[in-house]
Structure 1
Amino acid sequence: MAGDEGRARANELVLDYPRVGDTCYLGTFEQDVNPENGAEPLKWQVLAVEEGRALLITEQVIDSVQYHPDSLRLTWEDCELREYMNGEFYQETFTDDEKIRILFSEIENPDNVRYGTEGGDNTRDYVFALSYNELKSYFKGETFFTYPTDYAIDQAVMVGYETKYAWWWLRSPGFSQDMVAVCATRDADASLIEYGQGVDMLEVGTYVTNRRMGLRPALWIETADAE
C-alpha cells in the first residue's frame, strides 16, 4: 500500500514539474486485450516543457483507427478522428480531476511542407494527433518510432515486418486532400503503401479511410508554475 502511495506521489511530481524525457501516467485505456481486468493506466512521454505547460504523447500506439470513415477531401478540423479524440476518448479515458490538468489548446494546422496541401484552419483541442512539424521538432532522429500495445495489435494496426514498430496518424495533410501524413517504418507490405517503397510516408501519407493506422494521442497539461 505504501509503495502504491509512493508511486502516486512520484507521478504527481512529474505531472507538476515535468522535464523533457520524463514518463508519467494519466488516464486509463484498454491495452492488454483483457477487458475483464479493466482498463490499464496510460503511460505518457514528456515531449516539451514551456512556461506553465507541458506536451505529452502516449509512449505507445494504443489503437488502430480511421482518420475518417469516408473518402473525402478534408482537414483535421473536420475529421472524425478529431471528434473521437476530443469526445469519447477524452471523456472515457480521464477522470474529472485529470481533466482539470488538460488544457484546451490552440492547435496550428500548417499546409503540407512538400506538396502544399491545405492544412485548414487552426483548431482548439484537448487531445490531438501531432503535426508533421511537431514530430520533426520534438523528436530527435527517428526516436518517434514506437511499439503498439497488445490491444492495438489485436485491432490490426500496421507494424514493420522486422522492427515491429507501429504506424500512426499525424494530423497534417498528405499528398492530396484525401490523404494524411503518417509516421511509418520502411519495412512494411509495399502493397499497402499507395506510392510504393522509397518515399517519405511522413509527407505523402495514406488515405483517410485506412483502418490500420495507429492512434498515438498528444495533449498539453498545465504544470505547477502556471500563473
Structure 2
Amino acid sequence: MAELDIGSIMTFGGYDWRVLDIKEDRALVIAEYILEQKPYNDCSGDVTWAKCSLRKYLNEDFYSKFTDEEKSRIVQVQNKNPENQWYGSTGGEDTIDYIFLLNIEEVVCKYFGDSSKNLENRSPKQRYWFQKKNENNINRRSTLDGYVWWWWLRSPGRDNKRAVYIHGDGNIGIQGNGTFKYSSNTIHPLTGDNSGGVRPAMWVRVGIE
C-alpha cells in the first residue's frame, strides 16, 4: 500500500475515506462524503452515544459490510465521551468501538483546523459557537449524493434528547438536534428524508503489505 499523508484520500471497503491522523501503522479516517441518513436513536428519551441505535448500527450492520480481510484491519478502540462543554449534558460512559462518530473536540480542535478559541470563549448571544465566516467551516462541510447536508457527531446536545451536529455550511450546532425525531421541513431532495447524515470514522491499519 502506498504511503498515506494526512488529508489524503484512501479507498477502503468500497468507500472513499479522508485521512485525519496517522500513528505508526494505523490511520484515523472519516468517510469523505455522507454515506446515508439515520436518526441518532430509534426511540425517544435521554440517550448517550454508548446506548444509541446509531452506534449499534455502525458496529454491527455497517461493520458487517466489510470483508474478513478488511475487518482484520479495522482497529477496535476505546473512545472517551466528554460532556457538552456549554450545557453540561453527560457524554456517558467510555465505549469500545470499531466504527464511531467524531466528537466536538475532534472536529473543533484537531482534525478540521483549530477553532478551539470559539469553543472556549462563548459569547452570551451565541446560539452556536461559530459564525458563518469562521475560516474552518469549509473544512467540515460534506455532501450526500452531491447535495450539501448536515451530519451527526457523537457528543450530546444541550440535553440528552439531542446530539451535536455539523450544519450544511460547516457551522456546528452545539444545542443539538433531536436524537429520535428532527422537527424540520427541510428534507434531502433525493431521499425525501430530513434525518442527519452519517460520516463514519475508524482507525485502520495501513502498513505496507
With the shorter chain as reference, the TM-score category is 0.7 to 0.9
Match of 2:103 in 1: 131
Listed as ranges, the gaps of 5+ residues in structure 2 are 114-135, 183-193
CA drift of 1:144 comes to 1.0
Taking structure 1 as reference, are residues 186 and 57 closer, same or farther at Cα in structure 2, changes over 3 Å only? closer
Note if contact 1:132-1:202 (Cα within 8 Å) is conserved in structure 2.
no
Q: Which amino acid aligns with 1:119?
A: G
CA distance in 1, matches of 2:169, 2:76: 35
SS at match of 2:148: coil
Q: Which residue of 2 aligns with 1:205?
A: 176
- Kindly provide the amino acid, as one letter, of the partner of residue 206 in structure 1: N
TM-score, normalised with respect to structure 2: 0.78
**What CA distance in whole angstroms lies between the structure 2 residues aligned with 1:202 and 1:25?**
30
The within-5 A match list for 1:156-195 is: 164-185=147-168
- Tell me the residue number matched to 2:61: 88
Listed one character per residue, the Cα deviations across residues 51-86 of structure 1 (whole Å, up to 9, x for unaligned) are: 332100000001010111211101000000000000
CA displacement, residues 73-124 of structure 1 (integer Å, 9 cap, x when unaligned): 01000000000000000002x1111111100011110110111110011101
1:117 alignment partner, one of 80, 85, 89: 89
SS in 1 for 2:30: strand
Over the aligned positions, Cα root-mean-square deviation in angstroms equals 1.7
Higher helix share: 1
The whole-number CA distance in structure 2 between the counterparts of 1:185 and 1:26 is 25
Distance change (3 Å), C-alpha of 1:106 and 1:50 = same
| Bigger radius of gyration among the two | 1
- Hey, what does 1:31 align to over in structure 2? none
Count of aligned residue pairs for this structure pair = 172
Give the TM-score normalised by the residue count of structure 1.
0.72
Q: What's the CA shift for 1:219?
A: 0.3
Structure 1 runs, 4 residues or longer, greater than 2 Å off? none
